[in-house]
Amino acid sequence: MNKLNAKIPDGPLAEKWTRHKASLKLVNPANRKKLDIIVVGTGLAGSGAASTLGELGYNVKVFCYQDTPRRAHSVAAQGGINAAKNYKNDGDSVFRLFYDMIKGGDYRAREANVYRAAEVSNLVIDHYTAIGVPFARDYGGLIDNRSFGGVQVSRTFYAKGQTGQQCLLGGYGALTRQIQAGTVTMYSRRELLDIVVVEGRARGIIARNLITGEIERHAAHAVVLATGGYGTIYYLSTLAVNSNGSAAWKAYKKGALFANPSFIQIHPTSIPVLNEFQSKLTLMSESLRNDGRVWVPKEKGDKRNPNDIPEEDRDYYLERRYPAFGNLVPRDVASRAAKERCDAGYGVGDTGLSVYLDFRDAIQKQGAKAIENKYGNLFEMYEKITGESPYNTPMRIYPAGHYTMGGLWVDYNLMTTIPGLFAIGEANFSDHGANRLGASSLMQCAGDGYFIIPYTIADYLSDQIKVARFDTKRPEFEEAANNVKGRIDKLLAVNGKETVTSFHKRLGKIMWDYCGMYRNEEGLKKALTLIKELEEEFWKNVKVPGSIEGVNQELEKACRVADYFEMAKLLCTDALNRKESCGAHFREESQTDTGEAKRIDSEFAYVAAWEYNGPDKEPTLHKEPLTFEYVKLQERSYT
C-alpha cells in the first residue's frame, strides 16, 4: 500500500502557501512553553529553526557534533544565495526562479514545494540583511547581485566568496540571543545515534556525548532534523570530513522513507585530487564561472604552459556547446562535459583529470582589483593549496561529489512518514529534483528554518498541548539506548587490523567508479556485490582503538562508515531502479544523440521513496507521482 500523502494544498500555485498558512492550526503563546522541540543541526536550517521557535516561546533543545554551532557546514558555502528580488530589473520574478529550479532539477521535483521555496526567498534576504549579513553592495550602496549556473538573470546575493560563513554568523547571532534568553538549550559535541519513537510518534533522540562518551537520552514533543547531506559517502568530496548521513539513516531505519537517494550532485569546479593522502577536496565556487572561462587545448596531450597556448589552440567547450548559457550551464551539465573532455584525452595537468578555468580576459577587461573584490578569498585559497596564483595562471578544476538532492521524504509540511519527525534543508529531498541550481541551497535551508517549519510544526503541535513531557526511562528510550550501546560494543569488539579510514576510502572509490557521474546496469550490479563484500570485511577486520568513554574520533568515524555501507546499497538500488537519465543521475543507457541526459517521463516521473524492511531484506519502493500543471515537461536545453 502506498504510504505517501504529500498534502499539497489546493488552489492556484501562487496562492497555495498563503492559503495553507491560513488553514494551519496555531498554538497559543501561553501554551508554547509547555512544548519541547529537539532540533538536530545548527547550519542555516537548524539555527534558523531553533532561533525562530525559541523566539516564539517553545522550549528548544538544539544539538550539533561540532564544538560550536558556528562550525556547521553551511559555513563552507561560498558563492551566494538566491532570491527573486529583481534588483537588476532583468526580468526576474518568483515564477522565473521557480521555473529555473524545476528545469534545472530536470522536472523531478514537486511544483508546490519549489514555488514556495522561491516565494519565501525574498523574505530570507530581507531577514539576513536585517540581522547584519554584509552582502556585497554596488557603487551606490545597494545590495548587489551576480549570476549563477542554469539561469539568465542576476539573482544571487553574495558576500565575496564566503556567503555561507556570513549567513551562518548572522544565524548564530540570532541563535545565541535565544540561548541567552533561556528559550534554547545548546548541546554541542553531541552526535545523534538513534530516533526514539513512542506509540508511532517521534518523541526524542539518543545522542553520544563526544567528550565524555556518555549515551544520553533526550525527549521532546517533536524532533526536527537539519543534519545536511551524505556526500562524504564518496570519501573524497567538497564536504567537511565529519559531514555524514547517519542521522537521516537512523530515521530511515525507524520508519521514515528515504527519497531519491541516488540523486547526488557532482560539482564541476573543485580543485583536483593532488595526492593519494587527501581526505577531502576543496570547492571553488560556481560564482567563478561568471568571469572565468572554461577551456582545454584543442590538441590531445598538449603539455604547454597554458599561458603559452594561443587563442586559436584553445577549446572553450562550454561556450561552443551551450552558446545561450556558456560557462554558466547547470552543474550536472558542466561536470559531465569536463569528464567527457578529460576521458577523450584533452584533460590537463599531470593526471589529465582537470580542465582550465581562466580569468585572463576578465582581469584584462575589469582589472585585477575588481576581480579581487569579487573572488579574493577564493584565489587565496587556491594559491595556498596549489602554489599557483589564478591572477597569473588559469585554475585547474575537476568535478567532485558535493550536495545530495536525495534525502528523507517529507510532505508539504516538511514532516517525514514518522509523525512528529520533521526534516529540513539538505536533510530532506523536497526542492531540487535531480539537480540543484547553484546558490539555491542556502536559500532552501534558510527558508525552511525561518519561514516554513515555524508554521507547519505548530499545526502538528496544536493537539499536543495536553501531552505530558516524556520520561526518558520509558521502555522505548531504554531499548533505543541499549541498541546504540550494543552496536558500539560490537564495533569495538572486532579488533581487526585495518583502519576505519581505509574502509571508507575503498567504499568511496566503489561509489565514485560505479555510482558517480556515470552509471550503468552492469556497473551498479557490480557495485552492490563489491559493497556487500567490503561490508563483511569491515565487520571482521576493522580496528577501532580505545573505548566508549571519553573522546574517540575513530569510534565516531566507525559508526558513520558502518551506516554508509548500508546507505551505499540503497543508493545503488535506487540508481539501478531508475533506468532513465535525469539531472545528475546519468544512466549511460539513456542519453540523447549529443550525450545529454534523456528522461523517460512515461515511466519515471515520480519520487522514489524507499521503506526499510529490516537487515538483509530488500527495501520497498513507494512512488509519489509528479504532476506538472504550471510548467511543460520537455527536454532540457541550454543551447
Q: List active site positions.
A: 331
Distance separating alpha carbons of residues 157 and 296, to the nearest angstrom = 30
C-alpha to C-alpha distance for 444 and 118, rounded to whole angstroms? 8
The answer to whether the CB of 249 falls within 8 A of the CB of 612 is no
Q: Would you say 337 and 518 are in contact if contact means Cβ atoms under 8 Å apart? A: no
Q: What strands lie across the sheet with 314-315, from one edge to the other?
A: 264-270, 395-404, 355-358, 293-297, 314-315
Residue 541: all three cell numbers together: 577486520
Task: Map 255-273 to HEC letters.
Answer: CCCEECCCCEEEEEEECCC
- Which residues lie closer than 8 Å to 173 by C-beta, 6 or more apart? 131, 132
Strands 264-270 vs 395-404: parallel, antiparallel or unpaired: antiparallel
Residue 607: what are its φ and ψ, rounded to 5°? Answer: -90, 125
Phi-psi region of 141 (alpha: psi -120 to 50; beta: other; left: phi over 0): left
Task: Pick the closest to residue 79 from 146, 7, 1, 174 (CA basis).
Answer: 146
Alpha-helix residue ranges (DSSP H) falling in 466-520: 475-494, 500-515
In degrees, rounded to 5, the angle at the alpha carbon of residue 225 between the alpha carbons of residues 161 and 506 is 70
How many alpha carbons fall within 13 Å on the CB side of residue 536?
6
Cβ–Cβ under 8 Å, residues 330 and 304: no
Q: What is the DSSP string of 102-144?
A: HHHTTT-S-HHHHHHHHHHHHHHHHHHHHTT----B-TTSSBP
Residue 575: half-sphere exposure toward Cβ, Cα within 13 Å: 32
Local structure of 182: helix, strand or coil = coil
- Do 188 and 172 touch, CB atoms closer than 8 A? no
**Per-residue CA distances from 413 to 111, 138, 151, 410 (Å):** 14, 38, 28, 7
Alpha carbons within 13 A on the beta-carbon side of 159:
20
CA–CA gap between residue 5 and residue 115 (Å, rounded): 19
Distance CA 427, CA 566 (A): 17
Contacts of 25 (CB under 8 A, 6+ apart): 458, 459, 462, 463
Relative to beta strand 81-82, strand 156-157 is antiparallel
Query: How many C-beta neighbours within 10 Å does residue 470 have?
Result: 19
What is the distance between the alpha carbons of residues 565 and 278, in angstroms, rounded to a whole number?
21
Query: CA angle at residue 611 from 49 to 463, to 5 degrees?
Result: 45
